[in-house]
Amino acid sequence: MRRFYIVLLLLMAGCSPDSFEDFQHEGESECRKLVEDLSKIHTREDLLKMERRLKNKFESLVDLMIAARQFQEEHPEVKEIDPTLNDNSSNEALQEELMRIYSMEGGREIIERTQSEALIRLDAFERR
């Protein structure tokens, strides 16, 4: 059993991003997955069924944001990526899907509920 935890730890360490580009690519991937899930939602009932999954997606995004900020603090010598060079297609698609969901009856409240814990955690991290 102990060997399992050591292997798991090594795999997790090996998969963690080690540059701003890695964080960016991972963030874009997470956004695309979130857009894919949101695009499957057509009714309030669909949204309620997906609530737990969406909450986990928002938690993953916040985990990535926190890890990127910690990386930035630990590696001040590494230059950030020029934000003007980024492809914003996944961000735009996410914004469109969220606006579509917000227009549903109760959609905004449900989405805000799924985001609340992750945003509170992000805010607490940023305040420290």
13 occurs within a structural domain: no
Q: Say which amino acid occupies 9.
A: L
Global confidence as pTM: 0.78
Question: Does 14 score more than 50 pLDDT?
Answer: no
7 occurs within a structural domain: no
The residue range of the domain holding 107 is 18-127
11 occurs within a structural domain: no
10 occurs within a structural domain: no
DSSP class of residue 1 equals -
Query: What pLDDT does residue 59 have?
Result: 96
Between residues 99 and 4, the one the model is more confident about: 99
Task: Give the chain's domain count.
Answer: 1
33 occurs within a structural domain: yes
12 occurs within a structural domain: no
92 occurs within a structural domain: yes
97 occurs within a structural domain: yes
Query: What pLDDT does residue 8 have?
Result: 37
Contacts of 23 (CB under 8 A, 6+ apart): 17, 64, 67, 68, 71
Instruction: Give the pLDDT confidence of 47-102 residue by residue, as tens digits.
Output: 999 999 999 999 999 999 999 899 888 888 776 655 555 667 888 999 999 999 99
User: Exposure string (b/e) for 37-57, b if CB count within 10 Å is 16 or more?
Assistant: ebeebeeeeebeebeeebbeb
Count of residues for the chain? 128
Query: What pLDDT does residue 6 have?
Result: 44
